[in-house]
């Protein structure tokens, strides 16, 4: 958590009317209270700037890069609250300030003033835990900007946590009292029961013509580690011992729920445990077969798939891209494709 109350953002790019709003947050950071304050986050604005993770997908004009023409606006992150927070916590003699919501709001207002007209393309993207902030802010951002077409891309964070831990964490951040929570979710939030998936589903329902898409390794090592860390801080011994295949099965169940209920949702699964692609050189090398593997026949590479999502929307890509043998969810391996996802 930040030990002061700074607000900051960075912006770079072409200045053309193509805007990419990107949530950073890498490595996976959070600051929350359970039995004591858990500080798995940067503790200063300077550290937040140093870990923004501006990577190859964002800055390189390599052949076929679908993101190279965008102006990128990135809120700087050090509050450990996925840009949902409005609170302070005490830890020893320290006062830890979590005002991520205020930072996100200030950056949004700055971007609106600098891009007052209709955007040709508007992309809301988060990588790592930035995906959580993207889920939380998508409804607001999509309603505040004018655009011809838009897409929301969630890179490498599905939001899988031990049962019963999300709601109290979001409530503890002060997320219930921000304008991110509409009345129906505010009641759920105050009951310690709201999840980031509730916010994602709200956004998809309110924006049926916008494509929402996830990029996910089958067993993302960082997501697995954070799940285990949350379980440890809550004293949930069984969840602390979760295996890669078990985590993959939970992810499949979550994705199946989204695919069944929302025709504007799409999923790209990558074999392996890589955490984050759009911020890494692997954005130009990844396929469903792995982070540095050629794509199987008739399957788009990751950057090709992202390009189609941006140019053609959900009508231009298959509901799911996955490489591996089809098997029922819960198979003992982590290389299969859940047969229910492919139906």
Q: What is the pLDDT of residues 92-122, one digit of tens each?
A: 677 777 888 998 999 999 999 999 999 999 9
Does position 212 have pLDDT exceeding 80, yes or no? Answer: yes
Out of 70-74, 212-216, 258-262, 320-324, which region has the weakest mean confidence (pLDDT)?
70-74
pTM, entire model: 0.90
* pLDDT-derived band at 38, boundaries 50, 70, 90: very low
Mean model confidence pLDDT for the chain: 88
Mean pLDDT throughout 292-314? 98
The pair of structure tokens assigned to 128 is 């790592």
* pLDDT-derived band at 161, boundaries 50, 70, 90: very high
Contact 53, 279 (CB under 8 A): yes
Mean pLDDT throughout 59-85? 82
For residue 254, the model assigns a pLDDT of 99
- 35 vs 186, residue with greater confidence: 186
Mean pLDDT throughout 72-100? 81
What is the number of other CB atoms lying within 10 angstroms of the CB of residue 325? Answer: 10
Which residues lie closer than 8 Å to 231 by C-beta, 6 or more apart? Answer: 162, 165, 237, 238, 239, 240, 242
* pLDDT-derived band at 58, boundaries 50, 70, 90: low
Mean pLDDT throughout 125-138? 93
For residue 236, the model assigns a pLDDT of 97
- 238 class by beta-carbon count within 10 Å (0-12 exposed, 13-18 middle, 19+ buried): exposed
For residue 25, the model assigns a pLDDT of 45
Nearest residue to 332 via CA among 223, 246, 234, 205: 246
Contact 230, 29 (CB under 8 A): no
- 241 class by beta-carbon count within 10 Å (0-12 exposed, 13-18 middle, 19+ buried): exposed
What distance in Å separates the CA atoms of residue 114 and residue 216, rounded to the nearest whole number? 33
Mean pLDDT throughout 199-209? 98
- Phi/psi-derived region of residue 254, left when phi > 0, alpha when psi is between -120 and 50, beta in every other case: alpha
List of domains in the chain:
9-338 (3.40.50)
Does position 45 have pLDDT exceeding 70, yes or no? Answer: no
Does position 64 have pLDDT exceeding 90, yes or no? Answer: no
Mean pLDDT throughout 26-53? 52
- 316 class by beta-carbon count within 10 Å (0-12 exposed, 13-18 middle, 19+ buried): middle
What is the number of other CB atoms lying within 10 angstroms of the CB of residue 237? Answer: 9
Does position 216 have pLDDT exceeding 90, yes or no? Answer: yes
Does position 67 have pLDDT exceeding 60, yes or no? Answer: yes
Helical spans, DSSP H, in the chain? 45-50, 56-59, 100-114, 130-144, 166-172, 183-190, 196-206, 221-233, 237-240, 244-261, 302-312
Which residues lie closer than 8 Å to 7 by C-beta, 6 or more apart? Answer: 99, 102, 103, 106, 107
Collapsed DSSP state (helix, strand, coil) of residue 213: strand
* pLDDT-derived band at 59, boundaries 50, 70, 90: low
First to last CA, the chain: 43
Contact 184, 199 (CB under 8 A): no
């Amino acid at each position: 958590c930040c030990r002061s109350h700074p607000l900051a953002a960075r912006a770079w790019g072409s200045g053309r009317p193509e805007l990419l709003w990107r949530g950073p947050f890498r490595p996976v950071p959070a600051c929350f209270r359970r039995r004591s304050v858990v500080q798995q986050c940067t503790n200063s604005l300077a550290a937040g700037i140093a870990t923004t993770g501006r990577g190859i997908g964002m800055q390189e004009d390599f052949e076929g890069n679908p993101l190279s023409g965008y102006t990128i606006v990135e809120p700087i992150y050090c509050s450990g609250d996925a840009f949902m927070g409005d609170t302070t916590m005490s830890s020893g003699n320290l006062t830890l300030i979590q005002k991520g919501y205020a930072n996100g709001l200030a950056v949004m207002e700055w971007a609106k003033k600098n891009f007052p007209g209709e955007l040709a393309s508007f992309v809301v993207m988060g990588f790592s835990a930035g995906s959580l902030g993207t889920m939380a802010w998508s409804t607001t951002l999509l309603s505040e900007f004018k655009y011809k077409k838009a897409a929301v891309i969630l890179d490498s964070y599905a939001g899988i946590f031990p049962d019963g831990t999300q709601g109290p964490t979001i409530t503890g951040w002060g997320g219930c009292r921000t304008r991110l929570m509409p009345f129906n979710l505010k009641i759920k939030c105050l009951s310690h029961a709201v999840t980031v998936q509730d916010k994602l589903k709200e956004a998809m329902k309110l924006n049926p013509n916008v494509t929402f898409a996830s990029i996910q390794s089958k067993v993302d090592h960082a997501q697995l580690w954070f799940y285990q860390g949350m379980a440890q801080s809550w004293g949930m011994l069984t969840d602390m011992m979760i295996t890669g295949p078990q985590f993959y099965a939970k992810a499949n169940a979550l994705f199946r729920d989204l695919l069944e209920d929302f025709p504007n949702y799409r999923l790209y699964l990558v074999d392996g445990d890589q955490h984050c692609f759009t911020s890494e050189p692997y954005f130009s090398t990844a396929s469903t077969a792995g982070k540095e593997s050629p794509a199987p026949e008739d399957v788009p590479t990751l950057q090709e798939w992202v390009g189609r999502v941006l140019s053609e929307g959900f009508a231009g890509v298959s509901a799911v891209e996955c490489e591996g043998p089809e098997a029922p969810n819960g198979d003992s391996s982590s290389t299969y494709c859940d047969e229910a996802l492919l139906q």
